Amino acid sequence: MKAIQAYRYALDLTPAQERAVLAHAGAARVAHNWALARVVAVMNQRAAERTYGVAEADLTPAIGWSLPALRKAWNAHKEQVAPWWRECSKEAFNTGLDALARALKNWSDSRTGKRAGRPVGFPRFKSRRRSVPSVRFTTGTIRVEPDRKHVVLPRLGRLKLHESARKLARRLDNGTARIMSATVRRDGGRWHVAFCVEVDRAERRPARPTSVVGVDVGITHLAVLSTGELVDNPRHLDAAKTRLRRLGRALSRKTGPDRRTRQRPSNRWRRASLRLTRAHARVSNLRRDGLHKLTTRLTREHATIVVEDLNVAGMLRNRRLARHITDASFGELRRQLAYKTQWNGGRLLIADRWYPSSKTCSGCGAVKTKLALSERTYTCTTCGMNLDRDINAARNLVALATEMDTAGSGPVTGRGADHKTRPGRQVATKRQPGTATADQTGTVPPQGRTTDHVLTGAY
């Protein structure tokens, strides 16, 4: 099975090598800003000419936004814009132009409705101090040295790795991997190189080929499995909150940059800023490591994993839970499960966003119309079942997958209905006086169980 996979390693650069990498990142920024300024100038000129009544055929010729068009324009003007262009690899300028071409395409597609999701803004100019230094190499000499502790990149030469690249080297030696590109980027105060590799992965099967597990993510517990297992939420950000607050106060006492007076930051401010950046990077690395270990274990063991389609963006509007939700990284957990299930021969089912996994009784199928977030124990008013609400939701996810497999309707994907939880439809029948309907009791019998309702209170 062919798959695109990334291998990321930390670098130990010498001062001279760091200056060379920064020069290449600066070249990418210069090319990006020059091309963006040219595009903006032409757009403004054409808009002004339209206000004067100039015909469309007589307007200033438009500039192509594709990467070949931007590269052609750059090659025609690079002698005047950057006379030093020979000192850097052509891939550095290509990095900035490619980023601009992608940004312009995303903005155009968002305006015309071709791109789903939130509206994408117009590209901005990259700042020397605020932008993240990065350069991408797609051609030239890109290889891992035989000692597996060094890599070779175009114009940058031989760079030392902080750790061994034996896993990537073994695949390259066996002919089961092909390096497509290499990106050098400064992240968290350290330089890293990420290899985009086309890997020929062996076909794998989960350890339990018939196992179906429901995963209910949350804040109290990072994940609650339908098997009853509770995965603790490490809360790395809360654990580092005291240190981050202290480093932030120390940084505020130093002389930092001021754009209004053009004041340059002091060396002490730079060192304090680096310490704060490393502290944040450590939190991010711990969170990423825990998620990778959890998702790898789940995908290697279970054949079918069912998760919820949570509206994370909407959940972040709760100012009391936003920090805890971002620290748990619900979206990253689902993203890792998506590609790791494919790698390990399993499948990932996404429950409909409106499916009431927390409000449905996993024993009899009765659905509650309301379930407050403070109610951590699910008590069924029909069958009297008393169970932790997260375990109950995870069991409902497994039952949903079983129902779909039995019906032969395929994976549980898509948004489905556009309404909140309501009692299931019932056949109109005569009822005796004094008996309550489903709308009055707020529950439905097992046969009235539906799978197209809202998901609320599941976290």
Residues recognised as catalytic: 216, 308, 390
List of long-range contacts for 157-164, beta carbons under 8 Å, 24+ apart: 157/17, 159/11, 159/13, 159/17, 159/193, 160/11, 160/12, 160/13, 161/9, 161/10, 161/11, 161/12, 161/193, 162/9, 162/10, 162/11, 162/12, 163/9, 163/10
Phi and psi torsions of 209, nearest 5°: -65, -20
> Alpha-carbon distance 163 to 25, whole Å?
24
> Tokens for 126?
């990259």
Which residues sit opposite 217 in a β-bridge?
Answer: 223
Cα atoms in the 13 Å half-sphere on the side-chain side of 198? 5
> Alpha-carbon distance 319 to 317, whole Å?
6
Helix axes 90-112, 15-51, angle to 10 degrees: 40
> Tokens for 178?
């092909």
- What one-letter code names the amino acid at 196? C
Distances (CA, A) of 428 to 88, 169, 423, 444, 447: 77, 68, 14, 14, 14
